[in-house]
Structure 1
Amino acid sequence: MVTQEIGPARVVWAAAGGGVDLTCNVTSPLAGDSPRLVLWYKMGVHKPIYSYDMRNGPATHWKSVEVLGSRATFHARGARLRVERVKEGDGGEYWCRVDFTTNPTLVFSTRLSVVVPPQSLKIYTDAGKEVRGRVGPYLEGDTLILHCRVEGGAPTPSVTWWEGGALLDGGQEGQGGQEGVSSNTLTLHDLSRPDLHRRLTCKASNTNLTSPLSVSVVVDMNFPPLWTRILGERGPVSSGRPYDVRCEAVGGRPPPRLTWLLDHTPLTSHGHQVRDDGNVSISELRWTPSVRDEGKVLTCRAQSPLTHTPALTDSWKLQVYYVPVARLRPGRSLNLSNIEEGDDVYFECSIKANPWVYKIAWMHEKSELLHNVSSGIIISNQSLVLQKVSRWASGSYQCVAANTEGDGTSNPVMLRVKYAPVCRSGQVAYHGAAKYEKVEIPCQLEAHPIPSGFSWTFNNSGESVDIPQSHIRVLGSGSTVSYTPNTELDYGTLLCWGTNSVGTQKRPCVFHVFPAGRPDPVHNCSVYNLSEAVVNVRCVAGFDGGLAQTFVMELYHPLTNALIANVTSEVPRFTVAGLEAGLALMAVVYSSNEKGRGEMVSLKVYTIKDLAEKRTAAVKPPPTPDQKPPTPFPTTSIVAVGAGLGGGVVVVVGVVCAVVSVRRRGGGGGTANIAGLACSTAITEASNQSELRSLLIFTGQSFNKFQDAISRRTPLLIYKYLKFLPQDLQKQDTKTMN
């Protein structure tokens, strides 16, 4: 066998752990010649390490387990031996021997050099602490020292520092005293704000077959804020009005702590927010200035929690506007507890205000006092003088100072002017009493101080008698006398006097005692606030007869004469609800007291028709010829209603009496006499009634029953329907009819 070695050895580099191709030329120099056997050898190994045999048919592969094992595969296309997961021991010289059918054997040589990449790379601080991801934080002016240490690698790796694509430090420091360790130290002096977030990368590489081993760290730094300022205008502020004051600190890292001080007092009602990635810190203070804050200094303070640098501050000297603070006091030599009518009184108003006041007003019982020398009111700047005061000057006094912020009202000062007793207005002056009836007559006085004694005197046209003290009761500023008239001469006038430390009452209180009677009728009755279901009536009360009176209203149905409602009230004002719509009702109003019932007053009242009913009636068809028209209201009633005023009632009653007179000619006896008396009495009394009486008689009662009474010649019933028959006449008529 002839062997021919072709050319010098070819050098191939491979990284440990990677793959490499060891090539071999299997093309024969002779045309038509083909390879039959390919053998691979390695220096130091006496036997083949791999064979590719095509001699006996299809090619077969054989591998030496001790050398490359399953990691090696020969690829005929390309004639290359592929070695995976290269190991450092795989390095050396390899031969490829190719046997051809005709051509002599060819041998090709390849030198494999295996590169071992560095195994680990770590960065340490100058204090020997390993750094991962972030280093710091540092302060401005600090020096940054980082040590990059690389273990393993053959050949020895190069260790460099980079920032992005820029080389910072390419100096190699060698083994550093440790076997298999390479290192490089990076030093940055005088760190500043631009050094924040710098990404520093240490790389270790000993071949271009693999990517360099690298580790990066980011520089972290802390800074004090660049400036602090209170935002917005710094004009005057108003006391009592809430303000939102903002303070901004820029450039602090981490965000500074913002606090507020009013002079040296901390304020806590504020919030904190950070924006622009932590570069700007904002604090908003919710604050309401007070009068006491005038001239104080509001300070915003920004303190970095980690830099230990002096805090940055911004201050605002406050000018606080406020509503005037007024304080009222009497003159220094004045004793308000001993002021009597005729004395002079003066007040002083001290004021504190910013801005200063443009007006000062003086108030008495909430009413403004005006300068009036003739009335004894003298106003001079911050003083008020009251000359020769009367009891009407008593009450609360205040001064009101006004500026652009508002009106400031002072404390009230009470002035109580001492005066002799006088009668209190609004008392009941007339008292009705029957003989032998004891009445309690109160006498209320106004005085300061309250009366210490009372005296009562009775006067009539013939004599004046002092009331014994045993009949007099005293309670506070009032006195009550118990009085019983026994004869006609005991009706007259009672006089009441009071006495206090100022003096005796000059003019007594006068009360009249007269025989009590029934109340006078109400008058001026009217209907108001018409509605579909409610009737409202109001009247004017008459004289009460000297006794307390109550008022009654009765409502009657116009057709059935049935009582619909009975309402009692302390005042002549009535309301009845729940009625039907569209009714014309009769109302009777009267008053009563302990002596009896007063004269009744009648009036017609209405409820308005329902609106839907009105619309239905508007489209109702006229009656057909075979339908009877509705029964008209009795002519007599129309005459009575139409009569309206006083004399009309007499005319109607006269007609009734005429009918009764004609009917009674056929009969006689007591019934006729009673009829005549009833008619004459009705005419006489009806003449004295109001025009509304006619509505009660002829529309408030059943007219059919009234006609029936006439046809049966029962004048007593006629008279009862007229509502005028006295009680003694009713008894007389009853006996006659029986």
Structure 2
Amino acid sequence: MPQSYYSGCNLLVVFVVLNGAWCLDTKEFQKTLPARLVWGVPGKDAELPCDITPALPNDNVTMIFWFKDNQGMPLYSLDARHGPISKASHLAMSDDLGSRSYFITEDESGKARLRIQNVNVNDEGLFRCRVDFVNSPTRNYQVNLTLVAQPSAPRVFDAEGREIKIGHSAGPFLEDRELFLSCQVTGGRPKPSLVWWFNGTILDSVIDSSRDSYTTVNQLVITSTPRYLKGAQIKCIASSSEAAGYISREIPLTVFLKPNKVKIVSPNDLLSISKSQNIRCETSGSYPPAKLTWLLDGRAIRNAVVTEEETESFTGSILSLNVAPDDDGKDLVCRADNPRFPGGHAEDRRQIHVAYPPRVSVELVGTQNPVRETTDVTLRCKTSATPPADSYSWYHNSHLIPHNTTAGILPEGDRLFLKNVKESFAGYYACSAKNIEGETYSSPMDLIVQFEPRCKKGYEAMRVGALPLETLAVQCHVDSVPEVSRFSWTYNTSKGVLPVHGGKIESRGDVSILRFTPGSDDVESLSCWASNSVGRQQRPCLFFITPAEAPESPKSCLVRNATNGEGLEVSCIAGKDGGLHQSFILEVFDVSAPADPQAGVTTLSDQGDLPPPKYRVLGERPLFYLHNLQPGKDYQVSVYAENAKGKSHPPVILPNVRIDNQLTSLFFNNEDVPSSNPAAEASPSSVNLTVIVVSLAAAAVVLIVSIISVAAILACRRPGVVRMRRRSSKPPEEFDLSEAGFGEGFHRRSAQYRASMYGECEERISRMIEGTHSKDKRLFSYLTARPRLQ
């Protein structure tokens, strides 16, 4: 712009000042000026800047004018033509805007501004500042004063788009899970800011809506919600201008917390199966409070007594635990679960140790069952126990096994050593183990001892009675484990040993039967051999061939009431069988003569001719039961043995057998017979007579015993008959079996064998004394039971 123009204007300004006339710029000129935006806050001061720095050095301001919008008259002017700007005169229009305006100059260059106090909506508009200099060109500035408009109050929405009402909390949110909230405002000038704050710290200040959008949005996303936000309040703050202040919204947060601590606080002591144990678990840090669950080996414990204690942030649980032996070594888990927090749990685990009685079983060590005779065997008491077993016991066939070095039986703790095992070592072995919880017995283990065949006890040497031209069935009985695989027989003659052809042998199990017909061969004895998988029998079973004889008469026959209370029982002791199989016959005769109280058991029939027997009873044993005897009648009983050679002679006669009121009134009865006459029992004379009879009977007993003893001693002194009984000083083996373990047949055969080998003296004495005592006892019983007969 030409200098002449500005000079002319200066002259015009002076003219206007002096004469009230103004020089106005054209509108076209004003449109080309840039405008600076200045925000004003209603009710507060607004400052419109104006640069008054001269373009030329050492130049000064002469005049400053402020115009608003298209008004031609300045609303404010400053005249510095006559001095420094600090002493310039100010002139403002007298209207409302002018009265609230004042131009401020600063010592610092360019820091000049028009301050408008308490701006309002009417003050908005386009302001122009014109600065005239002495030498520099005139300068024009335009300032657009715009009032700030605050946005609406913030609104908050959750991830589902639901608005969170004022006074309500947001959530619930889960610890370590995502937290999402959206804060929104509408309107606002200039574009408002929207910031999330917590405890004086910015959480999120990023606007998530477009700049041209009428709605301003800030979405708060916390990928892992921290524990400290539980119960906290966060703020969403909106503002269009810092000077205009802030609009905020506080949001309480509900955050569910998972348990951060769970601990089984009870010491890990040894648990006993005999009593329950209280175990305590504690947890904290959960919101809402956690629920405690007990698990054993991964499974919830059912039907257990649990005591719970709960506060806002703490939960305790006491478990009364009953354990079983199988629980030893299992994991006990205390698990804390927040019921409002899916998957929010914590746990503490420990391995429990259970004290229980030993669990035991017997097993062979280093070998297999069965074992062979003469081998060494070790048994182990296999034990599982907590605490370990501290004592052991061993049993054989339910009997405690002591330490026996001589027999080779050595129990040592959980081991049982059997040295050089024998047949008697076979049987059931069991062990017991003991600890502080108790003692337990194992199931028995059957130890099978294999051995080569040997003669069954009582069958080592037998005498066989032979009848001319009659076939004998000789039975060979052996013991063998495993079973016999083959039997063989030999003839022993004066010419040597001859084999027996297999066609005459029949074998079943451990018994072999040889059907043998004595002929012209000089056969002295037979030998029986057996073999099994272990080996061949070392010593054969011997059968000595002797001419058969008639059997001996039965001995020591007794009559008593049957044990079932019906009828009578007659029992005898069998005599020698004569080398042949014998059977026994009992005959009952009905005699009319009354019972003779002085009669006794005899082998002589002094009764004269008897009628035919009422009935006859046969048996393989001398034991008979009589059920058909009539009360009030007298009977005579005859007992004898019979084999293929003939009958025993003489038979045993039992006279005067009578049944009175179902009770035996036999002279030899050893049962007390009650009196049937109470008046007689009460008679003094009867009592005195009874005393006399008893005294005589006692004297007779002593005399008879003395006579029999002397006679027996004299009889035993015959040459070639006396046998001295030897006593062995060797202690019995631990497992030696007595004859009590065998059947009655064994007793009969072994008795015969001993009698044939060692003579009959000892047996005769025993029988005589036994028979005498039996007679005396029966006599005494009879006399005291029937005083009415006197």
TM-score by length of 1: 0.42
